[in-house]
Amino acid sequence: CSASANKPVLTLFTKKPCPLCDEAKEVLEPHKRRFILQEVDITLPENSAWYDKYKYDIPVFHLNGKFLMKHQVDIQKFEDELTKLELQND
């Protein structure tokens, strides 16, 4: 279906264990039908560039490839950006 093709992609830069990441995912749970969550484990060898960039900042979120927020979910900012993208797609 084309609707899911247009859903914004929220990328979560994470590692195991990451209690803050788990917390962030819980905060985003009510909105999960509105975006696709993609998790990037920064400890994997192929993600070493992200590790160097974000090792002290996770969780870090990118929305459609652009930096959005780090450390914790700013739900207002997230809502605003998500709504903007949804309006662009209509």
Cα distances (angstroms) measured from residue 47 to each of 41, 58, 72, 74? 7, 14, 21, 25
Q: List, for residues 49-82, the tens digit of each pLDDT value.
A: 999 999 999 999 999 999 999 999 999 999 999 9
Q: List, for residues 3-43, the tens digit of each pLDDT value.
A: 556 899 999 999 999 999 999 999 999 999 999 999 999 99
Vertex 85 angle, CA 43 and 13, to 5°: 5
**pTM check: above 0.85:** yes
Class of the CATH domain delimited by 7-86: alpha beta
Name the residue type at position 67. Answer: F
CA–CA separation, 57 and 38 (whole Å)? 17
Terminal alpha carbon distance of the chain: 15
